[in-house]
Amino acid sequence: MYFAGIDIGSLATKTCIIDEEEKIIGYLIKRTTANIVEVGKETYKECLERTGLSENDIAYSIVTGYGRNLAVATLANEKITEITCHSVGAKHLFPKCHTVIDVGGQDSKAMRLDDDGKVVKFIMNDKCAAGTGRFLEVMAGALGMEMDEMIEAAFRSRNKVSITSTCTVFAESEVISLIASGNKPEDIVAGLNEAIAKRVSGLVRQVGIEDDVVMTGGVAKNRGVVKALENELNHEIKVPEEPQIVGALGAALMALKKFKE
């Protein structure tokens, strides 16, 4: 038997399929469009095709993420919040995990778990793009860089530039001014990473930091941001092999649990 988790995020939609032994059979990531239900269906269908399965092979499915309320009627057996799914996925991958940092496209979250993986406290920033993937996308545009270029650039910095604005709009203007003043792009990127780290670390401290610390979400692929956050928190951060699918994995694990119940 197989179980599916679909995570419809603000910038990316992810599907993960596992078997009854909790082994990942396959996963797929697609860009979220304005038609969130349709992209959810497409991601699910393509993931099934890649794994050689059909919908009839899926015993139970759960949808999570910001698009879960619209998609649940046609896409899954039920919906569960991303807070629960990310904590379940992170705990599965890192059994000693007690702190989860999820930095997605348009929000960031911090969660503290007990020994059993239950969320005892969490906080979310979904009112401001600062400290999110969208923040990085805007800054990459201002710098004329691709995201992959930004990741590598930070490690070439020798004279990090401080970014004083916390607002994405104002920070973009500040970056443009810094470029015009002759600052090196890599030094600006290092400053941007530090700005994100300061923003996210504030959330983490509010829930309490306890090892192991795990970071999920697309921004976790940015080694420069992860390193800046480690420095800010003075804690090692563990990053899954594919941090973007942790919510979808957690949803699939919850689907297995619900089916057994």
Question: What domain range is 24 assigned to?
Answer: 1-94+242-261
Q: What predicted TM-score, i.e. pTM, was given to this entire model?
A: 0.92
Write the DSSP symbol of residue 161.
P
CA–CA distance, 40 with 46 (Å, rounded to integer): 10
CA–CA distance, 150 with 139 (Å, rounded to integer): 9
Euclidean distance between the first and final Cα of the chain, in Å?
15
State whether 120 and 62 are in the same domain: no
Domain count, the chain: 2
From residue 126, give the alpha-carbon distance in Å to each of 9, 69, 130: 12, 17, 10
In which region does residue 109 sit, left (phi positive, over 0), alpha (psi from -120 to 50) or beta (all else)? beta
State whether 161 and 37 are in the same domain: no
State both tokens at 21: 């032994």
Q: Note down pLDDT in tens along the chain; length 261 residues.
A: 999 999 999 889 999 999 999 999 999 999 998 899 999 999 999 999 999 999 999 999 999 998 898 888 889 999 999 999 999 999 999 999 999 999 988 889 999 999 999 999 999 986 777 778 888 999 999 999 998 899 899 999 999 999 988 788 889 999 999 999 999 999 999 999 999 999 999 999 999 999 999 999 999 999 999 999 999 999 999 999 999 999 999 999 999 999 999
Tell me, what CATH number does 27's domain have? 3.30.420.40
State whether 102 and 209 are in the same domain: yes
CA–CA distance, 5 with 58 (Å, rounded to integer): 10
State whether 75 and 122 are in the same domain: no
φ, ψ of residue 102 to 5 degrees: the values are: -115, 115
State whether 103 and 228 are in the same domain: yes
The owner of tokens 């004279």 is: 159
State whether 172 and 51 are in the same domain: no
Secondary structure element (H or E) that encloses residue 200, with its range: helix 185-207
State whether 146 and 260 are in the same domain: no
171 exposure class (CB count in 10 Å sphere: 0-12, 13-18, 19+) = buried
**Is the C-alpha dihedral spanning 58, 62, 27, 29 positive or negative?**
positive
In tens, the pLDDT along 161-175 reads: 999 887 888 899 999
What pLDDT does 29 receive? Answer: 97
State whether 87 and 209 are in the same domain: no
